[in-house]
Every structure is written in structure tokens, then in C-alpha cells.
Structure 1
Amino acid sequence: MIRADLEAKIFSGEWPPGTQIPFEEDLAAGYGCSRMTVNKVLTQLVAAGVIERRRKAGSFVRRPHSHSAVLEIVDIRREVEALGLAYHFEVVRSAVRPLAAADEARLALPAGAPILEITCRHFAARQPFCLEDRIISLDAVPEAAEMDFSDLSPGAWLVSRIPWSSAEHRIRAAGADVREAAALLIDAGTPCLVIERRTYDQDRPITHVRLTYPGDGHEMIARFAPNGA
């Protein structure tokens, strides 16, 4: 009962990542049980990766920790749901505009080519999980200009709609700038994992996306074999 109740508060977002769990003696008094019983429950939650204990500070809700395969295009919804958390996303801004010179490094199109620029926030429960900054070539996907993406995220829609033949990944660590920090509810300068990806249909660029994750909640996994294996 105690564990189920604490997990409900955490997984519903009532206690978001970083929330301090009440002290053992307070929980014991609230549930009318021994402190030893509460300690056992908290130990189980630590082992499950739900909370963490900090020496001399107490217990805190952990940020959801996920991983992606480097050589796959991973659906963010699946990442979140694999953690046992409710997923939703919101479109922060969306605009059709010509490709600027500064964008040419992101998508190999001539300056002035029509693109859709869109920014989304993806959530795990009520906590921001990932910030998505994307540009889409409207020469390759003209119907994207008419989409409102209220039900399906841009990435999931593109995968279901447009075949892609190749992709490039770039993975780096970076401190969150002011805009990213505000979107992810973290402090500016917090280390983040940034995944940039370009996808192509043959030689035709389709999209470039930049996914920014708080660095303590995501990791990349690669599987490879020796040549000839």
C-alpha cells in the first residue's frame, strides 16, 4: 500500500523529478507504521530506480532515465512509455518560411527553399522530457505545411508518411541555453545530451531535427561488430 501510494504520486507527476520525499519518520507517522517498514519501501524504490538517496539530504524523485540506440530513429513516445510514464507533447511554435543562410548547415537546400520550422516539447508524466527543434523541407513534404500536429508529433508523422533511405546522426554534450532551460525546466548551463539527425530520401533532404535531453536522464547505446562478423 505504501509503495503503491508513493509510486502513484511520482508517476502521476504530483511529485516531479527533484521533489524531496518526506523523511522516514514523517512517512511512518502518516501511514501509521514503523520507520523500518518505510525504510524497506524506500529501499525498494531506490532499487527500482524511482528515487535516489543523497547523503545527509534525504530521498528525492529521480528524473526518468531512458536510452536510445544510436543507429535507430527512435520514437520519443515509445521511449517515455517504456519508462511506464504517461506521454504527451505540445507544439511550442510552428512557422512556414524560406530557408535562411544560417540553416544551410542543417539541411542541404538552396537559400530561399520553403521549409516548415517547428518546435515541440515532449513530456514524461508532467515533466519535460525532450525539446525538439525541427525543420522540414516543403519541397520534399509539401503537405507538412497544412498539418497542425495536434495528435501526432512531427517525427512520428514523418516516419509514417515519408520513406527515408538514409540518416546522419550527430551526438554531443552541451549546456542548456536560456531558451532550452526554460522549456525543460532546468537551470541554464545544465549539461544536456543533444542528438542532431538529418534524414534523406535517396539524395533528397527531408528533415533536420535537434533533440535536447537533460543529460542526467538519457544515454545512447550502440551495438557493433568487427568487420566481416
Structure 2
Amino acid sequence: IVVAYGLMIPEAVLNIPRLGAINVHASLLPRWRGAAPIQRAIEAGDTETGVGLMRMELGLDTGPVLLEVRCPIVPKETAEDLEFKLCSLGQSLLIQGLNRLQEGIPWEIRPQSEKGVTYAHKITGKDTWVNWELPAQQLERQIRAFQGLRTYFQGVVLKIHQADALLPNQREGEAGQVCAIYSDCWDVQTGSGVLRLYQVQLAGGKILSSREFLRGRTLLVGMAFGLS
């Protein structure tokens, strides 16, 4: 039984178990095969995901699905929240599968379709930096998927932990520029729409609400983020 194992297993090892090798995978296969299915599902804006028991073979998460359970991805859910939920579902599903094996109940095997295949590529450092040219809605999803995004503020790394995306309207400056400041948040122009920041963290510091951050820092409309 394999859970969240990041390496390919040789065929000689897969052939050892008499009842086959089983992987617990946190997606609705064939969508999001690979290393980071939870994060990529949130980043893509999926509204549903799940957990499956899959019989392992040489391909990357290509084996037939033996059991599966679905669950919604609710608005504002982070990767950490979703992982906790899927872990609980995965535990129950694995116990159910082991009970089937013990009782000799045959699997309802579902071969994976070659339609709808997507790959959940491993998260890299590049993924965790803000590209202000992207739409605000995509950046908001990335913040939830990657446990925050980093940018530069006055030459210092600033990590954004919580934000909302506002629908596009009249553009108010260049991407990365502060376009409005309030008592408890501020808005930054993106490639499409505005990202409203609520929780941030300077390098080496603690996580602050935007209200706390604004008490100790001078922030003006027109200031640019993302400049090292």
C-alpha cells in the first residue's frame, strides 16, 4: 500500500504482493495524475475532487481504479484544508478496501480513460512567486493552493497569505501597482481585475493582518510590488 510516495516503483517490486500493489491517490483519476493533485485542483478552480484506490502499474498513476469517493472543493478552501478532508476520506476508503480483500469481495475495476488526462506537476519555487500580469482570480487560487505567494515590497520579500479577487472593471494602473488603500486591506492591480490583500508576512517576520501591516509601514497608491 502506497500513500503520497514521490518515486516510481520498479516492476519487480510491484510484482511481489500476491494481491497487487495499491496506491491511495488524492484526485478523481485520470484528472491530476502526479505529485501535487490537491494543489493543482485548487489552482485550476476545480469544484470537485476525491480519493481513489488504484492498482499500481509501471505508468504514472495510470492503473485501474478499484474504489473511489468524491467530495466538493468549497469556495476559499486552502490546500491544507482540502488535504485534511481528503486524508480522512482516504483512511475510510482504504479500510473499506482492505475489508473487501479480507472478505473476498471482488473489486469493481474501472480502467482509466485516456480522455481528460491531466498531470499535477510537482510544486517548484517558481510556482510560489506572484506574476502580477495574471488575472486576480487565478492569483487568489494560487495563494490558497500554494500556502501563499511571494512578491517584493521595497526590496524585501513579502508573502501574501490571504486575499480576495475583485472582478475586472476599469483598470487603475499597471499590474503590481497599489490602486486603493483601506483601513483593513489594500488593492493591487493585476493583469485582469484587482487582488485585495488581507494577510501578509515580511521575510523574517510574523504573519500580519493588513490592518497591522499598515500601522507600521507607509503604503501609497501607485507603489509597485514585485520589484526586487
Taking structure 1 as the reference length, the TM-score comes to: 0.26
Taking structure 2 as the reference length, the TM-score comes to: 0.26
Q: Which has the higher strand share?
A: 1
